[in-house]
């Protein structure tokens, strides 16, 4: 079982690389239609790997419940804004959750928010890509404290601003590989130029959300992170204690 | 507004299928939509999907999906002719642009854009069908065998989503009763009021999550092998649907290799029907894919048939 676990990760990476290399051949086989499918398959393998990592890690019951709750909050925060294109506090919620609870929890909150909110807003071929993009936002936010230990509000505002664009760019890859032909620089630039305005809106609203809500939300989450840490006493100490109290009587 | 997209139990035939059979069927529809390039095949596929949606009584929901995807379809139709210079039948010559070079619009590029937008609509319709006939819990219980912890996170979040929407509304009403007017003031004055709203939601729901964790702990969560609460039965109808999907997939791969289901857009539009094989494969594939619709019709109108499958 342990050997199987060790093999799985490099195996999946090999599979992704193999698919990328095979795309040169498969592309010819499917008459240039394979890219959208192939890109989605690679994204789904990456998602499966990340979920598998969560499955294998040591996660307490409390963490599971808090991750589910934060994912729901991020998903709910999408709904009131669903009518406005790209003004979504969800990105901001995912980023602060990852920032406080670490990369793995950040990924789970982001991908859960995407999947669950789409149960209510409509699932689509965009779901795996949104799960991936938001999961990545949470993961990178979780890595920020490790890379820059003195990350302040200013840096995080810039980080949120940047992710407004990154999220749009990842989603553009989906549109571009799936529905545009031919795949060349001109069509790439055209797709990205078409989304530039919406991405800017997303980035600006992210930065605004962090400026207004950021510090107080981070404070609340940090309080709960402290509450999560529970140390269980080993059973024998308790037995000793009860036998000692027994002796007293 | 969000109830419309969420699964609603209507006691339909399509909703009674085993999740594995339904997911295979929808997966095959999706793959076929992605590999077919022949407009006849794409249109036929769209027809089957829309028929199945109507059998699931979801045409009203589908209309919303259709309206949402119109924007993207237009984008695809517009971008394609502008950036593609591979077509030979040029119908309009425009000015020279800095990045794109000479602006020429060809008939082939327009045809390609139209075919791609049909594909986009088919894919989005498949997902509409998914929302109509698959209960999230069924998929999650299938997932729980592979990845129990992730499935638990997802099903907890799915269950809490509507509850949290209600809670948000409750908090807002309490704030209104205490004299907070959410509609008054400039944007700058209104934002702190919303900040308070979400602060309270965050605090109370995180407190709830700790209670959920304690309840799970008290019920011995994670202390041993998981037990199974509900098992889905595998019935003849599931085998029929699964068989139809696999047959359609095999035929599609055969048609793809033989070139029946492909279509050359560039440099000039090819022939829609190359050989009798094109029509034969198309008809058998579509029939295999419409097995669920036929079964659903028989299930409604024929009690004996209903009892047998």
What confidence tens digit (pLDDT) does each residue in A150-184 have?
A: 878 888 999 999 999 999 999 988 888 877 767 77
CA B180 to chain A, closest CA, distance in angstroms equals 19
A81 interaction partners in chain B (CB closer than 8 Å): none
Decide if B225 is inside a domain.
Answer: no
Q: What is the mean pLDDT of residues B209-227?
A: 85
Best residue of A60, A85, A116 to probe chain B, by most B CBs closer than 10 Å: A116
Q: Are B70 and B58 in contact (CB under 8 A)?
A: no
What's the whole-number average pLDDT of chain B? 86
Query: Looking at the structure, do residues B77 and B98 belong to the same domain, yes or no?
Result: yes
Residue B220, Ramachandran bin (φ over 0: left; ψ between -120 and 50: alpha; else beta): left
Record: contact A122-B65, CB cut-off 8 A: yes
Query: Looking at the structure, do residues B96 and B187 belong to the same domain, yes or no?
Result: no
Query: Looking at the structure, do residues B251 and B277 belong to the same domain, yes or no?
Result: yes
B212 interaction partners in chain A (CB closer than 8 Å): 65, 68-69
Query: Looking at the structure, do residues B268 and B295 belong to the same domain, yes or no?
Result: yes
Which two three-digit tokens encode residue A57? 């890690």
Q: What is the mean pLDDT of residues B240-251?
A: 95
What confidence tens digit (pLDDT) does each residue in B84-116 have?
A: 777 778 777 777 776 666 777 888 888 888 888
Of the candidates B68, B152, B198, the beta carbon closest to that of A213 is on: B198
Decide if B183 is inside a domain.
Answer: yes
| Chain A: residue whose CA lies nearest to B252 | A30
**Domain C-terminal end among B158, B183, B218:** B218
Per-residue confidence at B80, pLDDT binned at 50, 70, 90? confident
Of the candidates B164, B203, B216, the beta carbon closest to that of A65 is on: B216
Query: Looking at the structure, do residues B6 and B116 belong to the same domain, yes or no?
Result: yes
Q: Are A209 and B195 in contact (CB under 8 A)?
A: no
Number of domains in chain B: 2
- A213-217, A235-239, B282-286: which has the minimum mean pLDDT? A235-239
CA A82 to chain B, closest CA, distance in angstroms equals 10
Q: Name the residue with higher pLDDT: A151 or B151.
A: B151
CA dihedral (B102, B74, A88, B168) in degrees, to 10, reads 170
Query: Looking at the structure, do residues B172 and B300 belong to the same domain, yes or no?
Result: no
Q: Over pLDDT 70: what percentage of chain B?
A: 97
| Domain spanning A59-230, CATH class | mainly alpha
Per-residue confidence at A142, pLDDT binned at 50, 70, 90? very high
Query: Looking at the structure, do residues B127 and B25 belong to the same domain, yes or no?
Result: yes
**Domain C-terminal end among B159, B192, B218:** B218
A116 interaction partners in chain B (CB closer than 8 Å): 154, 157-158, 161
CA B51 to chain A, closest CA, distance in angstroms equals 19
Decide if B303 is inside a domain.
Answer: yes
- Alpha carbons A16 and B101: distance in angstroms, whole number: 35
Per-residue confidence at A5, pLDDT binned at 50, 70, 90? low
Query: Looking at the structure, do residues B258 and B286 belong to the same domain, yes or no?
Result: yes
HSE toward the beta carbon, residue A241, CA cutoff 13 A: 6
- Residue-number span of the structural domain to which B173 is assigned: 143-218
Q: Can you tell me whether residue A33 is helix, strand or coil?
A: coil
Q: Is the pLDDT of residue A1 over 50?
A: no
- Alpha carbons B222 and B225: distance in angstroms, whole number: 8
- A139-153, A165-179, B55-69, B256-270: which has the minimum mean pLDDT? B256-270
- Alpha carbons B7 and B31: distance in angstroms, whole number: 23
Best residue of B3, B108, B124, B213 to probe chain A, by most A CBs closer than 10 Å: B213
A188 CB-contact burial (10 Å; exposed 0-12 / middle 13-18 / buried 19+): middle
**Locate tokens 């857009």: which residue?**
B265
DSSP letter for A23, please: H
- A163-167, B266-270, B289-293: which has the minimum mean pLDDT? B266-270
DSSP letter for B105, please: E
CA A230 to chain B, closest CA, distance in angstroms equals 12
pLDDT (0 to 100) of residue B52: 95
What's the whole-number average pLDDT of chain A? 82
A217 interaction partners in chain B (CB closer than 8 Å): 198-199, 202
B157 interaction partners in chain A (CB closer than 8 Å): 68-69, 71-72, 75, 112-113, 116
Per-residue confidence at B294, pLDDT binned at 50, 70, 90? very high
So what's the ipTM on this one? 0.81
What confidence tens digit (pLDDT) does each residue in A185-225 have?
A: 888 888 888 889 889 989 998 898 888 888 888 999 999 98
Task: Give the residue extent of every domain in chain A.
Answer: 59-230
A60 interaction partners in chain B (CB closer than 8 Å): 213
Phi, psi dihedrals of residue A9, rounded to the nearest 5°: -65, -55
> CB contacts < 8 Å between A and B, how many?
183
């Amino acid at each position: 079982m342990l050997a199987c676990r060790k093999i799985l990760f490099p195996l999946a990476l090999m599979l992704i690389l193999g698919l990328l290399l095979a795309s040169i051949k498969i592309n010819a086989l499917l008459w240039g239609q394979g890219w959208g499918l192939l890109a989605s398959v690679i994204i789904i393998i990456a998602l499966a790997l990340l979920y598998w990592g969560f499955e294998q890690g040591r996660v307490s019951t409390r963490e599971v419940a808090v991750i589910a709750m934060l994912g729901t909050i991020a998903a709910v925060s999408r709904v009131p804004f669903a009518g406005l294109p790209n003004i979504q506090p969800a990105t901001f919620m995912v980023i602060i959750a990852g920032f406080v609870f670490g990369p793995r929890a950040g990924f789970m909150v982001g991908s859960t928010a995407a999947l669950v909110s789409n149960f209510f807003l409509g699932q689509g071929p965009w779901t795996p890509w949104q799960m991936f993009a938001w999961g990545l936002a949470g993961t990178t936010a979780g890595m920020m404290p490790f890379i820059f230990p003195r990350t302040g509000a200013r840096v995080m505002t810039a980080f949120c601003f940047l992710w407004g664009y990154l999220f749009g760019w990842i989603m553009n890859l989906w549109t571009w590989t799936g529905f545009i032909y031919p795949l060349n620089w001109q069509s790439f630039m055209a797709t990205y130029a078409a989304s530039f305005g919406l991405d800017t809106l997303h980035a600006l609203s992210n930065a605004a959300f962090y400026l207004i809500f950021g510090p107080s939300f981070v404070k609340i989450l940090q309080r709960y992170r402290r509450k999560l840490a529970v140390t269980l006493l080993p059973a024998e100490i308790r037995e000793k204690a009860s036998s000692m109290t027994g002796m007293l009587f | 507004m969000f109830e419309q997209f969420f699964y609603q139990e209507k006691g339909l035939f399509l909703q009674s299928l085993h999740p594995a059979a339904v997911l295979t069927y929808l997966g095959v529809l999706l793959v076929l939509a992605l590999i077919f390039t022949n407009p006849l095949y794409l249109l036929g596929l769209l027809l089957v999907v829309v028929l199945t949606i109507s059998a699931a009584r979801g045409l009203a929901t589908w209309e919303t999906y259709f309206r949402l995807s119109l924007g993207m379809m237009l984008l695809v139709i517009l971008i394609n002719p502008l950036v593609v210079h591979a077509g030979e039948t040029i119908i309009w010559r425009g000015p020279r642009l800095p990045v794109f070079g000479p602006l020429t619009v060809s008939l082939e590029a327009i045809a390609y854009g139209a075919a791609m937008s049909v594909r986009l609509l088919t894919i989005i319709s498949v997902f509409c069908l998914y929302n109509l006939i698959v209960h999230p819990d069924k998929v999650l219980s299938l997932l729980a065998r592979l990845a129990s912890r992730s499935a638990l996170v997802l099903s907890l979040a799915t269950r809490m989503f509507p509850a949290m929407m209600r809670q948000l509304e409750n908090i807002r009403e309490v704030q209104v009763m205490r004299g907070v007017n959410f509609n008054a003031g400039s944007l700058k004055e209104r934002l702190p009021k919303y900040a308070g709203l979400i602060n309270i939601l965050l605090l109370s729901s995180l407190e709830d999550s700790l209670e959920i964790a304690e309840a799970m702990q008290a019920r011995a969560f994670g202390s041993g092998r998981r037990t199974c609460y509900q098992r889905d039965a595998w019935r003849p109808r599931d085998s029929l649907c699964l068989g139809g999907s696999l047959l359609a997939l095999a035929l599609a791969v055969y048609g793809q290799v033989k070139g029946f289901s492909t279509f050359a857009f560039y440099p000039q539009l090819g022939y829609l029907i190359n050989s009798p094989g094109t029509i034969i494969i198309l008809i058998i594939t579509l029939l295999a894919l419409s097995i669920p619709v036929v079964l659903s019709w028989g299930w409604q109108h024929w009690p004996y048939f209903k009892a047998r499958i």
